[in-house]
Amino acid sequence: MKPAAFAYCAPTSLDEAVRALQAADGDGKVMAGGQSLMPLLNFRMTRPTMVVDLTKIPDLSFIEQRGDRVAIGALTRHADLEFSALIAERLPVMSAAMPHVAHLAIRNRGTIGGSLSHADPAAELPMLAVFYSATIRAQGPAGRRDIAAEDFFVSALATCLDPDEIVFEIEFPVLETHTGWAFEEVSRRFGDFALACIALSIETRDGAIVDARVAVMGVADTPLRLRDAEQALLGARGDAAAAFGAVVRGCVAPNSDIHVSADYRRALIGALAEKAFTRAWQRAAGGPK
Amino acid sequence: MTIDITVTINGRLYRASVEPRLLLSDFLRDTLGLTGTHVGCEHGVCGACTVIIDGDSVRSCLTLAVRADGATITTVEGLGTPEQLNALQHQFRECHGLQCGFCTPGMLMTGMDLLKKYPLATDDQIREGLSGNLCRCTGYQNIVAAIRAAAALRNETTP
Ligand SMILES: Cc1cc2nc3c(=O)[nH]c(=O)nc-3n(C[C@H](O)[C@H](O)[C@H](O)COP(=O)(O)OP(=O)(O)OC[C@H]3O[C@@H](n4cnc5c(N)ncnc54)[C@H](O)[C@@H]3O)c2cc1C
Ligand code: FES
Ligand code: FES
């Protein structure tokens, strides 16, 4: 299929892009990498009258250390994150996740701002934003605002952004004291959207967990941070994998869909949680990175 | 509405005036007659339409032609000639990495980028790299073999 006709502009500043969206009066769509928008256009599942290309706006593609955070520009491509030494060092869970995001040719164009704004419930970067408790920064007609990742994702393919708001950067707090982490995902084919996925990060002291971070996706309309599972890990030692798997299974209520049943998904996320625990514990104990 | 674009493809400069909705895949095939780039699914899933834009493999069916303005593009026509295949094409022939040939342009363009960016030290890595390219004929074995052979050759020539 081919897209229906639309007008096109490529503004060179965020202000101009916001004005172009306003002028389109709700019928405009910004395009970043186009890797989710183009399929929708080709199938005419969306028919904007105006496409506002963001890629001519300078300074929206960067990865930089900002105090105890890593700031990432909205137009930064998946492949830039995948091959970044700074991401590998400061946000290792993101680094491990990136090869699972689609395929190289799609990672060469898809952007973090686009992935977050598209809000696919089985996408990796939205889950990582929730996992790291990232701040998503957007600009609209009324100016700029900061949105906590957990407030950003409203339901499947829906965010709290207004139609004329544009994400320009995202700030990820570094989990400085966490020495153990894991990212586990199962998909039908490598690079496909996940059937289920978990990210885990732990801080240990004297052989027990003193702080933990847990997020999952593929098991609900939005990525979820599992605070109950984080609580349950406090004080846990190396033998807690099975118990952690059971807690995570109990935290989720997935639906059945064309891919797999709800029961399969719940069993899968539990198994991935056990695997993630073992891996994170090994890393915290100084095992293989 | 049409927009003027200038694109360098396989070393040759092209100028055209295109509608914003024109896909790069259709620009290459229909406007320029470069039919080596194949179109399977038009939503990013099959990989047949993959081309190299400014050094990176990209789906031409997920690219508007207007966004290629100023870009340097390589399509399968730019890799080698029937008399002088490039190293990867040569391995596809040696290893029988193709049957009907529909997926082959995409496999080659993807393979070129994989060879540039990944160690490809194991077959698992090669298969992961090819996971976005569908082939309905070969069962993939000989495509993997061709890329394995090209990676070995690459490692010999660029230590
Ligand atoms: C075959 C295939 C497989 C894929 N597999 C995966 C996968 O396994 N995991 C995964 O996470 N993703 C996957 N993707 C999606 C890919 O990661 C996309 O790149 C990403 O979801 C969207 O990023 P983009 O920059 O291409 O956004 P676009 O396609 O340009 O835009 C997507 C949406 O977000 C809006 N938007 C874009 N940028 C902004 C912004 N800065 N501010 C506000 N709104 C914005 C657009 O208007 C549009 O509605 C896959 C895609 C394909 C085609
Ligand atoms: S035609 Fe472009 S990926 Fe299938
Ligand atoms: S050789 Fe026929 S599709 Fe791959």
Domains of chain B: 3-78 (3.10.20.30), 87-157 (1.10.150.120)
| Yes or no, beta carbons of B67 and A7 under 8 Å apart | no
- Give the pLDDT band of residue A235 (cuts 50, 70, 90): very high
Lowest-pLDDT choice from A116-125, A185-194, B93-102? A185-194
β partners of residue A72 = A63, A170
> Which of B3, B114, B132 lies at the smallest CB-CB distance from A106?
B132
- Give the pLDDT band of residue B1 (cuts 50, 70, 90): confident
User: For position A288, what pLDDT does the model report?
Assistant: 59
Chain A environment of B133 (Cβ under 8 Å)? 103
Q: Look up the ipTM and state it.
A: 0.97
**In the predicted model, is pLDDT for residue B23 greater than 90?**
yes
- The answer, yes or no, to whether any atom of ligand 3 lies below 6 A from the CB of B27, is no
Q: Does A53 touch chain B (CB under 8 A)?
A: yes
Domains and CATH numbers, chain A: 7-53 (3.30.43.10), 63-173 (3.30.465.10), 180-284 (3.30.390.50)
pLDDT digit string (tens) for A67-102?
999 999 999 999 999 999 999 999 999 999 999 999
pLDDT digit string (tens) for A161-172?
999 999 999 999
Chain B closest-CA separation from residue A191 CA (Å): 7
> Which of B20, B61, B114 lies at the smallest CB-CB distance from A51?
B20
Tokens of A55: 């890629």
User: For position B157, what pLDDT does the model report?
Assistant: 79
* Site from A80, A109, A187, A192 to mutate, B interface, most B CB atoms within 10 angstroms: A109
- B3: closest chain A residue by CA: A8
Q: Does A51 touch chain B (CB under 8 A)?
A: yes
- B126: closest chain A residue by CA: A190
pLDDT digit string (tens) for A251-289?
999 999 889 999 999 999 999 999 999 999 999 998 655
Side by side, the strands of the sheet bearing A208-217 are A180-186, A196-205, A208-217, A224-225
- The answer, yes or no, to whether any atom of ligand 1 lies below 6 A from the CB of A76, is no
Q: Does B60 touch chain A (CB under 8 A)?
A: no
User: For position B158, what pLDDT does the model report?
Assistant: 66
Cα radius of gyration rounded to whole Å, chain B: 16
Chain A environment of B20 (Cβ under 8 Å)? 5-8, 51
Is the pTM above the cut of 0.90?
yes
**In the predicted model, is pLDDT for residue A133 greater than 90?**
yes
* Site from B59, B112, B115 to mutate, A interface, most A CB atoms within 10 angstroms: B59
d(CA A181, CA A183): 7
* Helical ranges in chain A per DSSP H: 14-24, 37-42, 78-82, 85-90, 92-97, 104-107, 112-118, 124-131, 149-152, 227-233, 241-251, 262-284
Q: What percent of chain A has pLDDT over 70?
A: 99
Q: Which atom of ligand 2 is nearest to the CA of B44?
A: 3
**In the predicted model, is pLDDT for residue A1 greater than 90?**
no
- State the distance from the centre of ligand 1 to the C-alpha of A115, rounded, in angstroms: 4
d(CA B144, CA A13): 45
- The answer, yes or no, to whether any atom of ligand 2 lies below 6 A from the CB of B45, is yes
- State the distance from the centre of ligand 2 to the C-alpha of A52, rounded, in angstroms: 23
Write the CA distances from B93 to A116, A149, B99, B145, B147, integer angstroms. Answer: 42, 50, 10, 11, 11
